[in-house]
Structure 1
Amino acid sequence: MKNIASVFESKHKKLGLVSFDAGTFDLINGEVFRQYIKVLFVPQGYSLAVDFNEYDIQVPSLFFINTNQYLSFEKAGAEEAFLMYYNRDFYCIQIHDEEVACDGLLFNNIFESPKVDLRGEELKTIRQLFLQISEELKLQDNSSEEMIRIYLKQIIISATRTWKKQHLENIDAQLVGTEHDFFRNFSRMVDIHYREKHSVADYAAMLHIAPKTLTQKFHKLNLQNPNEVIKNRIVLEAKRLLLYTELSIKEIGFKLGYEDPAYFNRMFTQKTGKTPAAFRKEIAK
């Protein structure tokens, strides 16, 4: 697959596939694709940041990135990488429900990991699915839309299975079976309500359990305590707003549910080691 830049578009539905390397980082890192859900196929040798977390790619990997997430490629490997982007009208099974939906496990999980390493047959499978999508984008006959959607769903299902192996294999199987949905539900709730609900008690009430019980569930799996998960989501959104908007720090704090600017400043500084003003100045460079 060489120099791919193909798009399927019908009414409000859109999916595109772009190949890139160091020479086209400005396009990938820019604003063009920020509004889309993205699946990245990244060969070894690349370095990138997703939501301000840095990744050096040692083996070919997939990244699953939702709308408005921060993405920046810093270094390229020897092979081209691929960006598939699409909107919710093209593919979204059921918002905040299925693991393989556009808000599913790969895009929203308590481990905050959007990355899936690919080896052996898994790598061959994903390469072939990207190739098949590329061929359908060239063909674009009456059945192409549904074929592309089927291949995209296969990528997400295959990657979801692999992600579970890589992140859950050291956790007791019975515990995963009984508690996995619970943690997914908590993660989704935080993503929906973090602007107005900031305490563990808020989420415990929605889950109909005691705050202490919620904290203990996280402790059993050696996860960050739920208070940290909540604060991390707030700080992540603050970083995005500092980067992508011209809102004042006071306005950002208010938008995130903090009426006291000093309290918001302290919380952000405690979590990041920088004041919001210092972070904005640094990321602008």
Structure 2
Amino acid sequence: MLKEFSYKQFGNIEFSKKAIEETTFNSIAEHIKILFISKNATIQVDFQEFTMETDTLLFINPKVIVKPCEIINGELIYFNRDFYCIEIHDQEVACDGILYNNVFEIPFIKLDDNQSKDVQAVIQEIKTEMNNEDSSTEEMLRILLKLIILKSTRIWKQQHQLAESTQHNDVQFLRRFSKLVEQHYKTHHTVADYAELLFVTPKNLSKKIGLISKSTPNDIIKDRIILESKRLLAHTKMTVKEIAYSLNYEDDAYFIRFFSKHTGLSPVSFRKQF
């Protein structure tokens, strides 16, 4: 179902192999999404396959490619920036919050039984509200959406041991780094570039990133470049040289060596697989 309020869009659909076969997902490719996935379901996220150990929420930016492999009763909530992100929100629960700007990991939120029941209850309220036509429907849907994001942000911080108020600054620093990588990975390729933007030393940057990630800042930056390379190879007709140039590599031979070193495949071989 889809609700439209002027330029604002909010919708909810089933997420399963059958639903994808019957629905044109291209129409919501540019929407921001929240996916509820049931335990034991298997999905592919940006070329990686995952099987859920628990009921799980996944927060999906428009560029992320998600496909169900084996999934039952998945629920996909989608909305455009006009519906939610144009509003003024607390940074932690906005569309540029840590759940949607997370270069450290794929933002899965594992839910225990009680948390899953709470989230499913909110999703059910959303589905009920989608059938209403009164003047408060838009605001009710926005409140319910924010509730899911708020609950999930709290769980994420607890799972990463960042829930204490004294560590608020650390969470915001991680969010800023993640957002900067997402904004500048095409032009800024070194740790020093991001340390300068954050007004810290490269050593201090590495220390802060170590709070939640086993990967170094350099690994995170390079992984983001590789991910974009994969997306362009799999989903566009750009040549390898054009992809290299778009990622600020003037020497396409260097880019090919870089890609091959990190993936074990040449760009051409990777493209053939997908």
Q: Give TM-score, length-normalised by structure 2.
A: 0.92
Unaligned runs of 5+ in 1: 1-5
- Quick one: distance in 1 between partners of 2:90 and 2:221? 20
Answer whether contact 1:16 1:85 (CA < 8 A) is retained.
yes
Answer whether contact 2:35 2:58 (CA < 8 A) is retained.
yes
Query: Are 2:70 and 1:75 aligned?
Result: yes
Q: Number of residues paired by the alignment?
A: 274
Q: For residue 247 of structure 1, what is the aligned residue in structure 2?
A: 238
Q: 1:57 aligns with which of 52, 57, 60?
A: 52
- Quick one: distance in 2 between partners of 1:219 and 1:76? 33
Q: For residue 209 of structure 2, what is the aligned residue in structure 1?
A: 218
Answer whether contact 1:110 1:187 (CA < 8 A) is retained.
yes
Q: SS of 1:150's equivalent?
A: helix
Post-superposition offset of 1:174: 8.3
Q: Give runs of aligned pairs for residues 1-285 of structure 1, distance below 5 A.
A: 6-26=1-21, 30-77=25-72, 80-92=73-85, 98-166=91-159, 168-169=160-161, 176-219=167-210, 223-283=214-274
Post-superposition offset of 1:31: 2.4
Answer whether contact 1:29 1:71 (CA < 8 A) is retained.
no
- Quick one: distance in 2 between partners of 1:94 and 1:237? 29
**Given the superposition, is the C-alpha separation of residues 97 and 265 from structure 1 closer, same or farther in structure 2, using an over 3 Å criterion?**
farther
Q: Give the AA of the match of 1:24.
A: A
**Given the superposition, is the C-alpha separation of residues 118 and 219 from structure 1 closer, same or farther in structure 2, using an over 3 Å criterion?**
closer
- Quick one: distance in 2 between partners of 1:231 and 1:11? 40
Post-superposition offset of 1:222: 5.6
Answer whether contact 1:46 1:56 (CA < 8 A) is retained.
yes
**Given the superposition, is the C-alpha separation of residues 38 and 28 from structure 1 closer, same or farther in structure 2, using an over 3 Å criterion?**
farther
Post-superposition offset of 1:52: 2.2
Q: Give TM-score, length-normalised by structure 1.
A: 0.88
Q: Give the AA of the match of 1:249.
A: V
Post-superposition offset of 1:30: 4.5
Post-superposition offset of 1:22: 3.3
**Given the superposition, is the C-alpha separation of residues 217 and 58 from structure 1 closer, same or farther in structure 2, using an over 3 Å criterion?**
closer
Q: For residue 3 of structure 1, what is the aligned residue in structure 2?
A: none
- Quick one: distance in 2 between partners of 1:224 and 1:38? 26
- Quick one: distance in 1 between partners of 2:270 and 2:171? 35
Post-superposition offset of 1:64: 0.6
Answer whether contact 1:29 1:72 (CA < 8 A) is retained.
no
Q: SS of 1:141's equivalent?
A: coil
Answer whether contact 1:48 1:73 (CA < 8 A) is retained.
yes
Task: Provide, for residues 68-101 of structure 1, a one-character-per-residue CA deviation record: whole Å limited to 9, x for no partner.
Answer: 2111111124xx2111111000111569971111
Task: Provide, for residues 91-133 of structure 1, a one-character-per-residue CA deviation record: whole Å limited to 9, x for no partner.
Answer: 1156997111112111122432311112232112111111111
Q: Give the AA of the match of 2:37.
A: V
Post-superposition offset of 1:28: 6.6
**Given the superposition, is the C-alpha separation of residues 118 and 241 from structure 1 closer, same or farther in structure 2, using an over 3 Å criterion?**
same
- Quick one: distance in 2 between partners of 1:256 and 1:187? 18
Post-superposition offset of 1:219: 4.5
- Quick one: distance in 2 between partners of 1:251 and 1:94? 37
Answer whether contact 2:104 2:220 (CA < 8 A) is retained.
no
- Quick one: distance in 2 between partners of 1:180 and 1:83? 27
Percent sequence identity over aligned pairs? 40
Post-superposition offset of 1:62: 0.8
CA RMSD of aligned residues (A): 2.3
Q: Which moved more, 1:219-228 or 1:97-106?
A: 219-228
Answer whether contact 2:103 2:181 (CA < 8 A) is retained.
no
**Given the superposition, is the C-alpha separation of residues 172 and 13 from structure 1 closer, same or farther in structure 2, using an over 3 Å criterion?**
closer
Post-superposition offset of 1:27: 5.0
**Given the superposition, is the C-alpha separation of residues 216 and 158 from structure 1 closer, same or farther in structure 2, using an over 3 Å criterion?**
closer
